[in-house]
Homo-oligomer: A and B are copies of this chain.
Amino acid sequence: MKIKIGILGYGNLGRGIECAVKQNDDMELAAVFTRRNPSDVKILTDGVPVYSADEAAMHKDDIDVLILCGGSATDLPKQTPEYAKYFNVIDSFDTHAKIPEHFAEVDAAAKAGGNVGIISVGWDPGMFSLNRLYANAILSDGKDYTFWGRGVSQGHSDAIRRIDGVKDAKQYTVPVESALEAVRSGENPELSTRQKHTRECYVVAEDGADKSRIELEIKTMPNYFADYDTTVHFISEDELKANHSAIPHGGFVIRCGKTGWNNENNHVIEYSLKLDSNPEFTSSVLIAYARAAYRLNKEGQCGCKTVFDIAPAYLCKQDGEYLRKNLL
C-alpha cells in the first residue's frame, strides 16, 4: 500500500513534489488540486486527475497527505489551517516572524480534524533549522552563523522587476568568502549585513530605458539592496534566458563553540547545501516529512509539528533495523 500524496498548487514547488514522488517507490501521486481551471493544467504524471482546489475536501479519503505548494505571504496562512481540518498536511511556510501564529492556527485545525500538520518544512526553515538546533544542543557555549547562496532570491528578483524600465531580472545572493573563512577559523567575528553577503543583479532593461537611473534605484532600495554591496549587470533578454533560467541556491549553517574545563577547546560544526534546483530540493524535503506525517497519524498522533518534533527515523521508508545496520 503506497502513501497517497496530493499536491495543492502546481507551480515550481508542485512540479518538484511530482518529481520527488516519482523517485520514492513507497508513494504515489493521487491528485493535483489547482486554483486555475483544472483543464488548463497539464501535469507530468500519466493518469493522475487534476481537480479544482475548491473540491479538495471531497477527495479527503483518497489522499493520505496533502502537500501545500502555495506562497507564504497570502496562500499558506489561509490554506494550511483550512486543509488541516481534512488532511494530513505539509507546508513550507517561511515567514519567520509569523511562525508562532501559524503554528497555533494549524495546531487547532489539525487537532479538530484528527490530522498531523507539519509546517515550515524545506531547507531554511527546515534542514538549516535542524542543524542550528543540533549544533546548539551540543555546543551550548557558541555562536551561530547562517549564510545563503550562491543562489537566486525570488523576492529580490521581483523587487528589481517592479522598477520602471526593467523588463526582467534575476538576483543572486552571494556569501562573502572571507567572512565564511573568518567564521570557520573560530574567531567568532561580529559580521554586519554588508560583510556577510553581496548581491549580484542581472537586468534586462526596456528599450531606451535610463540604465544609470535603474542601477541607482536598485542599489539604494531600502531593505532589499541598500545595506549590501550590490553589482548590476545589464544583459540581453536572450542572455538572461540562456544563462539565468535555473533556480540554484544553497548556503551554510556554522556554529563555533568551546568546550573544556576552562573553555580551552574550539569546535566548528558546518552544514552546507549546494542545490541546482531550490524548488526540487525543497520538494524532496517535503516528501520525506509527508512520510513522517502519514506514519505519525497512523500511530494516532495529531496536531501541528515542525522538523524539531519529528524523530529522524520517521523520514525513511526503511525500518529501524535496516537504518541501524546501514546508516548508524
Main secondary structure on chain A at its contact with chain B? helix
Tell me how many chains of this kind the complex includes: 2
For residues 24 through 50 of chain A, which have their beta carbon under 8 Å from a beta carbon of chain B? 24, 44
Taking CB atoms, residues of chain B closer than 8 Å to A127 are: 134, 138, 269
* Count of residues in A whose CB is under 8 Å from the partner chain: 68
Interface pair B259/A267, CB less than 8 Å apart: no
The docked-state distance in angstroms from the alpha carbon of A275 to that of B307 is 27
Q: 1/0 per residue A294-328: CB within 8 Å of B?
A: 00000000000011111111011000110111011
Interface pair B316/A136, CB less than 8 Å apart: yes
Contact of A99 among B19, B136, B288, B328 (CB under 8 A): B328
Taking CB atoms, residues of chain B closer than 8 Å to A323 are: 133, 308
Using known A-B contacts A23-B259, A140-B23, A308-B311, determine if residue A267 contacts B272 with beta carbons closer than 8 Å.
no
The docked-state distance in angstroms from the alpha carbon of A261 to that of B327 is 27
Taking CB atoms, residues of chain B closer than 8 Å to A259 are: 16, 19-20, 23, 276-277, 280-281, 283-284
- Tell whether A222 is near chain B: CB-to-CB under 8 Å: no
Q: Which residue of B lies closest to A292 (CB)?
A: B137
The docked-state distance in angstroms from the alpha carbon of A311 to that of B276 is 29
The docked-state distance in angstroms from the alpha carbon of A275 to that of B257 is 10
- Tell whether A141 is near chain B: CB-to-CB under 8 Å: yes
A189 to chain B, nearest CB (A): 16
Q: Which residue of B lies closest to A132 (CB)?
A: B327
Q: Which residue of B lies closest to A22 (CB)?
A: B261
Interface pair A133/B316, CB less than 8 Å apart: yes
Taking CB atoms, residues of chain B closer than 8 Å to A178 are: none
Interface pair A140/B261, CB less than 8 Å apart: no
Taking CB atoms, residues of chain B closer than 8 Å to A136 are: 316, 327
Contact of A24 among B103, B140, B285 (CB under 8 A): B140
Interface pair B324/A103, CB less than 8 Å apart: yes
Taking CB atoms, residues of chain B closer than 8 Å to A306 are: 324, 328
Given contacts A23-B141, A23-B259, 17 further A-B contacts (CB under 8 A): A24-B140, A44-B261, A127-B134, A127-B269, A133-B312, A133-B327, A134-B312, A137-B316, A138-B288, A259-B281, A267-B273, A267-B274, A268-B274, A270-B272, A307-B328, A308-B313, A309-B311
